[in-house]
Amino acid sequence: MPPHPSTPSPPSMRAWACTAYGGPGVLQLRDLPHPAPGPGGVLVRMHAASVSSADMRIRAHKLPRGFGLLGRLALGLTRPRRPVLGTDVAGVVEAVGRRVTGWAPGDAVVGVAGMAMGCHAEFCVLPATRPLVRKPGRLSFAEAASLPFGGMAALDFLNRAQVQAGESVLVLGASGAVGSAMVQLAALRGARVTAVCSGANAALAGWLGAQAVIDYTQQDFTRTGERWDVIADTVGASRFDACLPCLHEHGRYLCIAGSLTQVLARPRGTRRSIGGPAAERPHDLQALMDLAESGVLRPVLDCAYPFGDLPAAHAYVETGRKRGAVVLLAPGA
């Protein structure tokens, strides 16, 4: 039955829905119901949200080898079960649930929705238990949104590998979102960092704190005769067994974007592979934002797309050539 002419329409918001697995054209701009925070939720008005390699992988169903079936079971058989993608947001608190303390309307925040997603919309609700911290005053919303995706993964893997001052760390994919954070965070710990990137990104790697750069288009790092304490592969371009001769005793191989076989690789002598999903802890997000506020962790923001251009942002991310992060801006920004 059509609504009575005097019935006010329910409040709505603009949001991008991923209607199927496929190219960027499966993303459709929709009017969806305006979300309301439950008792433990925080409603955030999005100012900027990252468009990450995870968003692209989910939309395209382009997962590392061996994860196809697991991915469909976890994410949705024929299309994403959670249609509004977007894992991280920087914005302003609009409303809080009755059980939430510590947040009030008007607070500028950075939050990680993670696999619950929903940040590619005018508004999103984050449970207050999720990583949610104050936005550093020195960062713009776009810069703040550029940090959590790569930063949280890099920090978690560095912690799991217990990287210490004086160790040597090779970062494959040093110019990506995870890699650019990994280079900085490892250097901040006092590690000696070798960045593997293309020649075009060598200056960026040096600016981030790498002491040496290997241009992967000119040289294969496994054939340099050098060894490292930690090899962090953020792009899935290597294999644990092929890296064994390049790892010192007690060396760690960080399998951040590898196939299922690589993730499950058994230790070889004193050398081991560390893989799987990165944890998303509130105190890690706080640590990243503290480093950013003090100016020692620098956001690497490739570009920001207007809200209406999300498919173009996805197409760019899918090239695999972005430097650092890509973000989506709020409508009208």
Ligand X SMILES: NC(=O)c1ccc[n+]([C@@H]2O[C@H](COP(=O)([O-])OP(=O)(O)OC[C@H]3O[C@@H](n4cnc5c(N)ncnc54)[C@H](OP(=O)(O)O)[C@@H]3O)[C@@H](O)[C@H]2O)c1
Instruction: Name the residues that contact ligand X, by CB under 6 A.
Output: 52-54, 57, 150, 153, 172-173, 175-179, 196-198, 200-201, 216, 234-237, 256-257, 277-278, 320-323
What minimum distance in Å lies between the beta carbon of 304 and ligand X?
15
What minimum distance in Å lies between the beta carbon of 293 and ligand X?
23
Cα→Cα distances 99→96, 103, 106, 255, 286, Å: 8, 11, 18, 39, 22
Quick one: 314 or 323, whose CB is closer to ligand X? 323
Nearest CA among 123, 136, 100, 152 for reference residue 325: 152
Token pair for 128: 């207050």
Whether 276 and 263 have beta carbons less than 8 Å apart is answered as yes
Quick one: 95 or 287, whose CB is closer to ligand X? 287
DSSP 8-state symbol, 324: B
Quick one: 99 or 321, whose CB is closer to ligand X? 321
Helix axes 282-293, 148-160, angle to 10 degrees: 110
What minimum distance in Å lies between the beta carbon of 29 and ligand X?
24
Quick one: 168 or 238, whose CB is closer to ligand X? 238
CA dist 212 and 193 (Å) reads 7
| Rounded to 5°, angle at Cα 44 from 40 and 48 | 145
Nearest CA among 106, 102, 104, 103 for reference residue 92: 106
Contacts of 216 (CB under 8 A, 6+ apart): 172, 196, 197, 198, 237
CA dist 212 and 196 (Å) reads 9
Quick one: 191 or 278, whose CB is closer to ligand X? 278
What minimum distance in Å lies between the beta carbon of 109 and ligand X?
21
What minimum distance in Å lies between the beta carbon of 131 and ligand X?
14
Nearest CA among 226, 220, 230 for reference residue 157: 230
What minimum distance in Å lies between the beta carbon of 94 and ligand X?
28
Quick one: 95 or 304, whose CB is closer to ligand X? 304
DSSP 8-state symbol, 268: B
Quick one: 96 or 235, whose CB is closer to ligand X? 235
What minimum distance in Å lies between the beta carbon of 2 and ligand X?
46
What minimum distance in Å lies between the beta carbon of 201 and ligand X?
5
Provide the total of helices (H) and of strands (E) in the chain, helices listed first: 10, 15
Quick one: 46 or 178, whose CB is closer to ligand X? 178
Residue nearest to ligand X (CB): 176
CA dist 288 and 146 (Å) reads 12
What minimum distance in Å lies between the beta carbon of 255 and ligand X?
8
CA dist 251 and 268 (Å) reads 10
Quick one: 41 or 150, whose CB is closer to ligand X? 150
